[in-house]
Structure 1
Amino acid sequence: MDKQIQKNLTKWLKEQSKLAKRWLMLTIGLGFLSGLLLVGQAALLANILHELIMEHTDKSELINQFIGLIVVVAFRAACSWGREITGYRCGEQIRLHIRQLILDRLHNLGPAYIKGKPAGVWASLVLEQVEEMQDFFARYLPQMSIAVLVPVIILVTVFPLNWAAGLIFLITAPLVPIFMALVGLGAADANRRNFKALQRLSGHFYDRLQGLSTLRLFNRAEAEAENLHAASTVLRKRTMEVLRLAFLSSAVLEFFSAISVAIVAVYFGFAFIGELNFGHYGIPISLFTGLFILVLAPEFYQPLRDLGTFYHAKAQAIGAAESIVEFLNAEADEMTTGDTNLPSPETIELHATDLEVLSPEGKILAGPLSFSIHSQEQVALVGPSGAGKTSLLNALLGFLPYRGSLKINGIELNELDHSQWRQAISWVGQNPLLVHGTIHDNITLGNPLATEQHIAQVAKQAYASEFIDRLEKGYQHRVGDRSGGLSVGQAQRLAVARAMLQNGSFWLLDEPTASLDANSEKLVLDSLAQAVKGQTTLMVSHRLDQLSAIDRVLVLDNGKLVQNGHFDQISHEGLLADMLAHTDKRDLDA
């Protein structure tokens, strides 16, 4: 990874930490207090041993010091416990903020952008990669300050007693962070490669899991299993690379810390036997001084060792942050939303002038288009596959950016409050999506405050009550993800009931009967015919034989509006005539 990129990512991570400054300062403060208590603990322990060994003091006379030692140890334990709590809260608050940034960005970009990548990639981004930042905020950032404060406390305490020992501490201390940095240079790259491998595997696995039935039908299950095995092997190698660097870093830090403590111990050993006679300001080195400094010696390096241990958390966070920052800064045209209220929401009228529908990356998907849909008018939108029908619907829903003019009741869509605009839309798609929950939950998705009487009424109108009443738990029957446990026809009838309950003044129908059998299709069409009566309606349809009852037909081809008029007027020429002829020929062949 480029050093400048790594520096920018580190800066971005530290900027996020400002959101939990209170928890961060509490964590650092508890670490500082623990350092002060450490000095007191070492002093009490050294004094007790000095009194017992050198002064032959009776143990009963040292009871107060023993009690003091126990109290100090208990307070240090409480500080450690407090650090864990405050550190976790710090990381939690920042993770929630980062996750919200991602979700807000996904919300602004809309489903058209989200569908451009496998669901597993988004799951990895929102879940695993955000979670991997916890230790950076909870442990590494506080430890950076503690690794400076605690050694300074110890140096200030040791230098007045023995300048030689203080000098050893001062000279050897930089060795730990220097070698930590040298070993950790490749850690961020290793973590970045690990996250990329995890994203690929997550997306690959989730997509194959969704299409498992298709893979088995085409006898591709074993081949895809081999591909998954290859992807998991790459992830395993990347993970082991990260662990190898983490263990190497820890081993190096332990080695240099042990060497530094050993130098201090050797100095005092030779000083006690009279071989070294410096560092003591002219006062003979006592057992208290030697024990006090030797007890503090490993503790002097411990914060630096802990920082080295948590250094892999920094590398992990940088590796995770790369994809997150890249996504947050991705160049994409977002649908701008205003705060203007929709005038007269009980009736809807649309006017498009030179409308160009754009992809999130700015590519023209359809247009320029100019058309109008008048209040209470029922309009059909037809065209061959890839003509731009879905793109136009996504623009109307506010999920794709556009150029030109698209006015709803005289107000530009970009200026409208999109949440209010969508409340005015009753939408039924060709692939009904039911969420995990009960049938009641799914019907009331767009109107949670609806009464039971109203719910039963729309279920009856959508012919959904026919099968709901036969279920053992009725409206409390559990529905799995992606309509699990129900047929496509049953799920579509629930989707129609849901749209009816929302009672929007603009009905948007995207081939609502495309996947249904003849009986389900008739029931859904009958219920929709009653629901859209007197409402502004735009329906994408593949059933050209049913268009004669529609007020007007819009025909799209290659993103352009090629025909516009009543079915009887335009069905004898142009693209619509060709589509009808093709449909008739296909029916004859069948």
Structure 2
Amino acid sequence: MDKEKQRSLALWLKEQSKLGTTWLLTAIGLAFMSSLLLIVQAALLANILHGLIIEQTNKYDLWLSFFSLAIIVCLRALCRWGKELAGYRAGEMVRLHIRHLILDKLQLLGPATIQGKPSGTWASLVLEQIEEMQDFFALYLPQMAISVLIPSVILIAIFPINWVAGLIFLITAPLIPFFMALVGMGAADANRRNFKALQHLSGYFYDRLRGLTTIRLFDQVEAERKNLIIASEGFRQRTMEVLRLAFISSAVLEFFTALSIAVTAVYFGFSFIGKLNFGHYGLENTLFVGLFILVLAPEFYQPLRDLGTYYHVRAQAIGAAESIVHFLESKPAYQTSGNKKIPSKTIELKASKLEVLSPDGVVLAGPLSFTIHAGQKVALVGESGAGKTSLINAILGFLPYRGSLTINNVELRKADLSHWHKQISWVGQNPQLFYGTIKDNICLRSSRVTEDRMHYVTKASYVNEFISRLEHGSLHHVGDKSSRLSVGQAQRIAVARALLQDGYFWLLDEPTTSLDATSERLIMASLEHATQDTTTLLISHRIDLLGTCDLLLIMEKGKLVQQGKFEALRQKGLFAEMIKTVDKRNFDA
């Protein structure tokens, strides 16, 4: 990663930190107060030791100094606790903000873009990489100010007492950040490579975990185990590279800090035995002065050492920020978005020279021209790969397009998509159920659903037929990916969810796929009743479901090759060939 890129990412991180400015200033203020208390603590400690060793003062006569020292130590501990808490709150606020930015961007791009990467990659982006920024905001940013404030305060306290010690501190202090930057120059690149390795490992592991049944049935466990070991080893090497840089940086800082303190101690040692007689403004270098300065010496370098320790945190945050910023700044070649409200009650959809595009601008289907009038039941028919899913994603606003696609005379790219989605009732072929109760999955955790409404949709979708046999009824827990339920039961829950949405446009994507005869009959009965007075678009391979449709749209290789009523289309063309193929299969069976 070049320096210009690193600077721009560091600037972006600092821009985000403005949300936590109040907490950051609180952390810095508490650290400054702690530094003032530190000077008092050093003076009290030096005074106690000077009195006991040099002046032979009775320890009971120093009770006030002991008591004051204990109070100062407690106050410093309190300031330290407050600083850590304030820093954490600052990081928390910024992390929540960045996470919201990513989730909003994911929602804007839609599922068509999200499916382009493994689920584990998105999990790593939203969870691990954002969490890795916590220490940058909580520790590194406050430490940048603290590493200037505290040494400055200590120098102000030391120079009036002994200018040689102050000069030693002043000369040696810049060595620490210099070597810190020198050692850490490659840290950002190392962290960036580490996060990419983590993304790869997360995505690979999650996808294989989901497909464990397939892997075992096809006897590929050993092969996938070896691939996982290779991915894990790559991540281990990247992690060790980051740790190696961090340890080298810490070792360099410790060396120069110890060297600087040693030089100061040697100066006072020779001064006490009369070999060095300068630096004290004509006054004698007493044990009090020596102890006072030597107690402050480690504390003078400590903020700089902490900054050096946190320098790898900065590199870590920059490495994490690269993919986050790249994702937030990414834009499809054509973006569907707007703020116009689509008039409701009835839905009419028109497409004119419509070309559906991928997020990168590649044509997936089209040009297409058709009209779905209000209240019509239209079927979209075609073999796999014909472009049906691409067209549906465009209608839902998940894919960009060229040409014209209007809903009630409102161009979809100018429409408010969230408002449009509220008017859609959707039933897919693989219903997505979430971990929770059956009621949660029907209501999607909405608290505005009344018991009467819930009873109506469960009855209309025939969900009540099987939940009545469950011990906890609608509060029965559903596992991830519809586990603990049959395919037919999951599909009925999806129908209940669509009924609860009560949209003006129904989108049915192979609603009876993989269902037994009983479940298919019940689901089709509920859907026929629910879609009587609405505009409906049905995607299906089932020829027997198409006879009741007002219009058929036949697609092949991304093109609309036929459109019309069932009886007219069955006489010739692609649809007639599809019917013959189905009839032949039934005859052979």
Give the shorter-chain TM-score range: over 0.9
| 3-state SS of paired residue (2:419) | helix
Determine the C-alpha separation between the residues in 1 that align with 2:198 and 2:338: 38
Determine the C-alpha separation between the residues in 1 that align with 2:18 and 2:451: 48
| 1:265 alignment partner in structure 2 | 265
AA partner of residue 211 (structure 2): G
| 2:130 alignment partner in structure 1 | 130
| 3-state SS of paired residue (1:278) | coil
Residues 464 and 490, structure 1, Cα contact 8 Å, conserved in 2: yes
| 2:312 alignment partner in structure 1 | 312
| 1:209 alignment partner in structure 2 | 209
| 1:353 alignment partner in structure 2 | 352
| 1:396 alignment partner in structure 2 | 395
| 1:507 alignment partner in structure 2 | 506
| 1:367 alignment partner in structure 2 | 366
Residues 335 and 399, structure 1, Cα contact 8 Å, conserved in 2: no
Determine the C-alpha separation between the residues in 2 that align with 1:449 and 1:174: 62
Residues 514 and 542, structure 1, Cα contact 8 Å, conserved in 2: no
Deviation per residue, 1:94-128 (Å, 9 max, x gap): 00011111001101000110011010000000000
| 1:583 alignment partner in structure 2 | 582
Deviation per residue, 1:207-257 (Å, 9 max, x gap): 111111111111111211111111111111211222222122111111111
Residues 334 and 401, structure 2, Cα contact 8 Å, conserved in 1: no
| 1:72 alignment partner in structure 2 | 72
Shift of the alpha carbon at 1:540?
A: 0.6
Determine the C-alpha separation between the residues in 2 that align with 1:317 and 1:250: 18
Residues 394 and 400, structure 1, Cα contact 8 Å, conserved in 2: yes
Residues 434 and 482, structure 1, Cα contact 8 Å, conserved in 2: yes
Determine the C-alpha separation between the residues in 2 that align with 1:81 and 1:194: 32
Residues 447 and 501, structure 1, Cα contact 8 Å, conserved in 2: no
Shift of the alpha carbon at 1:500?
A: 1.4
Are positions 1:51 and 2:35 aligned together? no
Determine the C-alpha separation between the residues in 2 that align with 1:287 and 1:448: 72
| 1:521 alignment partner in structure 2 | 520
Determine the C-alpha separation between the residues in 2 that align with 1:468 and 1:413: 39
Shift of the alpha carbon at 1:57?
A: 2.8
| 3-state SS of paired residue (2:352) | strand
Shift of the alpha carbon at 1:27?
A: 0.8
Shift of the alpha carbon at 1:197?
A: 1.0
Residues 544 and 580, structure 1, Cα contact 8 Å, conserved in 2: yes
| 1:485 alignment partner in structure 2 | 484
Are positions 1:31 and 2:5 aligned together? no
TM-score (norm. length: structure 2): 0.97
Equivalence map 1:165-176=2 (5 Å): 165-176=165-176
| 1:440 alignment partner in structure 2 | 439
| 2:569 alignment partner in structure 1 | 570
Shift of the alpha carbon at 1:198?
A: 0.9
Any gaps of 5 or more consecutive residues in structure 2?
none
| 1:146 alignment partner in structure 2 | 146
Determine the C-alpha separation between the residues in 2 that align with 1:476 and 1:16: 42
Residues 447 and 502, structure 1, Cα contact 8 Å, conserved in 2: no
- How many percent of aligned residue pairs carry the same amino acid? 65
Determine the C-alpha separation between the residues in 1 that align with 2:282 and 2:448: 85
| 1:162 alignment partner in structure 2 | 162
Determine the C-alpha separation between the residues in 1 that align with 2:101 and 2:43: 49
Determine the C-alpha separation between the residues in 2 that align with 1:43 and 1:513: 82
Determine the C-alpha separation between the residues in 2 that align with 1:244 and 1:564: 66
Shift of the alpha carbon at 1:529?
A: 1.4
Are positions 1:221 and 2:221 aligned together? yes
| 3-state SS of paired residue (1:549) | coil
Deviation per residue, 1:508-547 (Å, 9 max, x gap): 0111112222332222222211211121100111112331
AA partner of residue 192 (structure 2): R
Determine the C-alpha separation between the residues in 2 that align with 1:527 and 1:226: 49
Q: Quick one: structure 1 residues 309 and 100, their matched pair in 2 at CA, closer, same or farther if it must change by over 3 Å?
A: same
| 2:279 alignment partner in structure 1 | 279
Shift of the alpha carbon at 1:51?
A: 2.3
Determine the C-alpha separation between the residues in 1 that align with 2:446 and 2:182: 59
Deviation per residue, 1:7-58 (Å, 9 max, x gap): 1111111111111111111111111111111111111111222222222333
| 3-state SS of paired residue (2:471) | coil
AA partner of residue 558 (structure 1): K
| 3-state SS of paired residue (1:186) | helix
Determine the C-alpha separation between the residues in 1 that align with 2:362 and 2:124: 27
| 3-state SS of paired residue (1:356) | strand
Shift of the alpha carbon at 1:448?
A: 4.6
Residues 433 and 483, structure 1, Cα contact 8 Å, conserved in 2: yes
Determine the C-alpha separation between the residues in 2 that align with 1:446 and 1:301: 54
Residues 336 and 399, structure 2, Cα contact 8 Å, conserved in 1: no
Determine the C-alpha separation between the residues in 2 that align with 1:450 and 1:99: 29
AA partner of residue 438 (structure 1): T
Determine the C-alpha separation between the residues in 2 that align with 1:482 and 1:408: 33
| 1:299 alignment partner in structure 2 | 299
TM-score (norm. length: structure 1): 0.97
| 1:466 alignment partner in structure 2 | 465
Residues 434 and 441, structure 2, Cα contact 8 Å, conserved in 1: yes
Determine the C-alpha separation between the residues in 2 that align with 1:464 and 1:511: 19
Shift of the alpha carbon at 1:447?
A: 6.3
AA partner of residue 432 (structure 1): P
Residues 109 and 334, structure 1, Cα contact 8 Å, conserved in 2: no
AA partner of residue 536 (structure 1): T
| 3-state SS of paired residue (2:370) | strand
| 1:380 alignment partner in structure 2 | 379
AA partner of residue 248 (structure 1): I
Q: Quick one: structure 1 residues 448 and 550, their matched pair in 2 at CA, closer, same or farther if it must change by over 3 Å?
A: farther
Q: How many residues align?
A: 589
| 1:109 alignment partner in structure 2 | 109
Residues 105 and 328, structure 1, Cα contact 8 Å, conserved in 2: yes
Shift of the alpha carbon at 1:335?
A: 4.2
Equivalence map 1:222-237=2 (5 Å): 222-237=222-237
Deviation per residue, 1:241-285 (Å, 9 max, x gap): 222221221111111111110000000000111111211122221
| 3-state SS of paired residue (1:185) | helix
Deviation per residue, 1:46-89 (Å, 9 max, x gap): 12222222223333332222222122111111110001100000
| 1:453 alignment partner in structure 2 | 452
Determine the C-alpha separation between the residues in 2 that align with 1:526 and 1:263: 90
Are positions 1:325 and 2:295 aligned together? no
Select between 89-98 and 150-159 the one with higher mean Cα deviation: 150-159
Determine the C-alpha separation between the residues in 2 that align with 1:81 and 1:314: 22
| 3-state SS of paired residue (1:525) | helix
AA partner of residue 546 (structure 1): L
AA partner of residue 122 (structure 2): W
| 3-state SS of paired residue (2:547) | helix
Determine the C-alpha separation between the residues in 2 that align with 1:304 and 1:454: 64
Residues 335 and 398, structure 1, Cα contact 8 Å, conserved in 2: no
Residues 27 and 87, structure 2, Cα contact 8 Å, conserved in 1: yes
AA partner of residue 330 (structure 2): A
| 1:179 alignment partner in structure 2 | 179
Shift of the alpha carbon at 1:307?
A: 0.8
Residues 110 and 399, structure 1, Cα contact 8 Å, conserved in 2: yes
Residues 551 and 566, structure 1, Cα contact 8 Å, conserved in 2: yes
Determine the C-alpha separation between the residues in 2 that align with 1:472 and 1:288: 79
Determine the C-alpha separation between the residues in 2 that align with 1:68 and 1:334: 69
Shift of the alpha carbon at 1:432?
A: 0.9
Determine the C-alpha separation between the residues in 2 that align with 1:577 and 1:205: 46
| 2:243 alignment partner in structure 1 | 243
Determine the C-alpha separation between the residues in 2 that align with 1:118 and 1:522: 36
Determine the C-alpha separation between the residues in 2 that align with 1:498 and 1:446: 11
Residues 20 and 94, structure 1, Cα contact 8 Å, conserved in 2: yes
Deviation per residue, 1:275-302 (Å, 9 max, x gap): 1121112222111111111111111111
AA partner of residue 449 (structure 2): A
AA partner of residue 125 (structure 1): L
Any gaps of 5 or more consecutive residues in structure 1?
none
